[in-house]
A and B are shown apart, each in its own frame.
Chain A
Amino acid sequence: MTDSPFVIAGRTFASRLIVGTGKYSSHAVMAQAHAASGADMVTVAVRRVNISDRSKESLLDYIDTARMFILPNTAGCYTADEAVRTARLGREAGLSNWVKLEVIGDERTLFPDNEALIEATKVLVKDGFVVLPYTNDDPIACRKLEDAGAAAVMPLGAPIGSGLGIQNVNNMRIIREFARVPLIVDAGVGTASDAALAMELGADGVLMNTAIAGAEQPVAMAQAMKHAVIAGRLAYLAGRIPRKMYATASSPVEGLVGR
């Protein structure tokens, strides 16, 4: 079956799986997991250089930048101003004007602050950024972000790093119906079926970090996620059968032996 390409802001991606670079046991394991995932977009964080200890290897040495598109995030920012400042530094450090915009509203849940997120989106869009906001699974927030010029909407399936899977399936369906920009489920995926479900609901892509980096065998999980995203997408395009209460026999009811 032929699928339409995965396009965000005019850029085509080969994979609908976007992966993170955090929390791996080593850069080498990360590089192997990235290769196994088939992803061609990775997220990175923007942080102060450690001045006193320059011994650490650079993350970028372990990312195949010829193949991978780098998406800097504003993780850890709690105000629109901090996020805008971090996004601008990320643009300067990197090679593009894209940003995964995060404005967090609460430390325990890491839920986004909708109001500040929309405000930061407006500022960055005006400044020429391609803004991919990490948002609550709220159809109205997603619509407002779209109106603010976001290039995609990235609702959470569940809290970051929780591995709970998509908690509000119905909201995700409504967001799908409303969205005129790509819908990427970002955060909350725990295992392959969670990613497949996101795609079956009609998401254009899935973004994950902990589900792969925190698995007992990250490289194997990366491979599982690759297949889950492909399978979920195909199932969405194929059109599933309606749910029914009772059985419908798959084998003919005529010609039974001995009747």
Chain B
Amino acid sequence: MTYADFEQYADLLTIILNGERYELDEPISVAGLLARLEIDPRRVAIEHNLTIIKRQTFPEVVIGEGDRLEIVNFVGGG
């Protein structure tokens, strides 16, 4: 790994997304992350560090290092 690689790597943010490690190159809003993941914000509910966030605040809430995010939707069930 060159120093440049290391610097780039060190700058990565690690979050826990749906229980898995997920890396971001910079802080991003919840709305930004959903866009990157191609998830329709109207179809999901999100918990950010154990607090449910309202859909209208998705553009404002910024995800930072170590944050825990749960993105859920409806699936078939009885």
The reply to whether chain A is a binding partner of chain B is yes
List the interface of chain A (C-beta within 8 A of B): 20-24, 30, 43-49, 51, 54, 58-60, 70, 72-73, 75, 85, 88-94, 160-161, 187, 207-210
Residue of B43, B54, B74 contacting most chain A CB atoms (<10 Å): B74
B72 near A30 with CB under 8 A, answer no
For the complex formed, measure the closest distance between the CB of A156 and the CB atoms of chain B, giving whole angstroms: 12
Given the interface contacts A51-B20, A54-B37, A90-B45, does A43 sit within 8 Å of B73 by beta carbon? no
Interface: B49 (CB within 8 A): no
List the interface of chain B (C-beta within 8 A of A): 17-20, 22, 37-40, 43-47, 52, 54-55, 70-78
B77 near A22 with CB under 8 A, answer yes
With a CB–CB cut-off of 8 A, which chain B residues contact A58? Answer: 40, 43, 73
Given the interface contacts A51-B20, A51-B22, A54-B39, does A94 sit within 8 Å of B44 by beta carbon? no
Residue of A58, A60, A70, A89 contacting most chain B CB atoms (<10 Å): A89
A48 near B71 with CB under 8 A, answer yes
With a CB–CB cut-off of 8 A, which chain A residues contact B74? Answer: 44-47, 59-60, 70, 72, 90, 93-94
CA distance A47 to B70 in the complex (A): 10
Checking A48, A85, A209 against B78 with a beta-carbon cut-off of 8 angstroms, the contacting residue is A209
With a CB–CB cut-off of 8 A, which chain B residues contact A160? Answer: 78
CA distance A43 to B71 in the complex (A): 20
With both beta carbons as reference points, the residue of chain B lying nearest to A63 in the complex is identified as B74
B17 near A51 with CB under 8 A, answer yes
CA distance A163 to B52 in the complex (A): 37
CA distance A78 to B47 in the complex (A): 19
With a CB–CB cut-off of 8 A, which chain B residues contact A20? Answer: 76-78
A93 near B72 with CB under 8 A, answer yes
CA distance A187 to B71 in the complex (A): 29
For the complex formed, measure the closest distance between the CB of B29 and the CB atoms of chain A, giving whole angstroms: 17
A209 near B18 with CB under 8 A, answer no
B52 near A45 with CB under 8 A, answer no
CA distance A174 to B48 in the complex (A): 45
4 tightest Cβ-Cβ pairs between the two chains A and B: A45-B77, A209-B78, A20-B78, A92-B45
CA distance A126 to B39 in the complex (A): 32
For the complex formed, measure the closest distance between the CB of A27 and the CB atoms of chain B, giving whole angstroms: 8
With a CB–CB cut-off of 8 A, which chain A residues contact B19? Answer: 48
With both beta carbons as reference points, the residue of chain A lying nearest to B34 in the complex is identified as A49
A22-B76, A44-B76, A60-B74 known, 6 other contacts, Cβ within 8 Å: A21-B75, A23-B78, A48-B19, A58-B73, A85-B47, A89-B45
CA distance A94 to B44 in the complex (A): 8
For the complex formed, measure the closest distance between the CB of A33 and the CB atoms of chain B, giving whole angstroms: 12
For the complex formed, measure the closest distance between the CB of B21 and the CB atoms of chain A, giving whole angstroms: 11
A51 near B18 with CB under 8 A, answer yes
With a CB–CB cut-off of 8 A, which chain A residues contact B70? Answer: 48, 89
Checking B72, B76, B78 against A49 with a beta-carbon cut-off of 8 angstroms, the contacting residue is B72
With both beta carbons as reference points, the residue of chain B lying nearest to A18 in the complex is identified as B78
B47 near A89 with CB under 8 A, answer yes
For the complex formed, measure the closest distance between the CB of A201 and the CB atoms of chain B, giving whole angstroms: 21
